[in-house]
Amino acid sequence: VTGSCVVAVTDDGERTMQTYLGTSADISEENVNFEALTKADWLYLEGYLAMSEGIQPAMTKLRQQAGIHNAKIAVSFADPAVVKFAKEGLLNMLGNKVAVIFCNSEEAKLFTEKKQIKAAARALLNYCQIAVVTDGANDTIIAHKSDEQNSIDIHKVPTPKVIDVIDTNGAGDNYSGTFLYALSQHYSLPECGRLAGEVSAQVIQQFGPRLESQVYKDIARRVLTA
């Protein structure tokens, strides 16, 4: 049976997921198309996979193949429960170091055992070059470590104000996807954060995790040319 997920959204826009993984819990190396990495610039790994022991050998091979083909790796921590119960799986995803980590403040603090969001973001740089830590309606913290200059830059990116939050489902995935798009187009880290924040802010003002394609284009035009 294929996996399924029922998402319940409360009046405050928060969502609760009841998930049945089905056959997706049994994904192994045989189900992964490693050949696709030969033409890829990025490999995006979703933290939920850290909770599946069977997929870990495939995770290791994906990281190895990404290195061979010079594909950058981005990892999303996905959920605080992943950090609590599957940290070893996350560490396997991260390997020696990845290009980008996406997480929220709770996940960052749990993973690094730091109490402050900036300290957590800095600590994440032991595992990545760019750490993107969202914090709800508060500023997003983007930490960047430059290998050439051996320095750390910390950017605070304001989160757009949203009066009427309807459905937070999909906000995180939209944020990560938009950020990676802007990064692939060589925008600065603050610009990547602003664009991702604007898209996520729009997503949570409607039901459903996707915007119309023209809306994405309009947001990009407004934010990146401002």
pLDDT for 19: 81
Task: Provide the whole-model pTM.
Answer: 0.91
**What is the chain's pLDDT, residue by residue, as a tens digit (226 residues)?**
788 888 888 888 888 888 887 887 787 888 888 999 999 999 999 988 888 888 888 889 999 999 999 999 999 998 899 999 999 999 999 999 999 999 999 999 999 999 999 999 999 999 999 999 999 889 999 999 877 667 899 999 999 999 889 988 889 999 999 999 999 999 999 999 999 999 999 999 998 889 999 999 999 999 988 6
- Domain extents in the chain: 161-226
Neighbours of 55 (CB within 10 A): 24
Q: How much is the pLDDT for 149? A: 67
**Side-chain-side CA neighbours of residue 143 (13 Å):** 24
SS3 of 72, please? strand
Q: What is the pLDDT of residue 223?
A: 93
Pairing mode, strands 128-135 and 98-104: parallel
**Cβ 183 vs Cβ 100: under 8 Å:** yes
User: What local confidence, expressed as pLDDT, does residue 226 receive?
Assistant: 66
Q: CA separation (Å) from 105 to 90, 124, 127, 168?
A: 16, 12, 16, 16
Q: Kindly give the pairing relationship between strand 15-20 and strand 4-9.
A: antiparallel
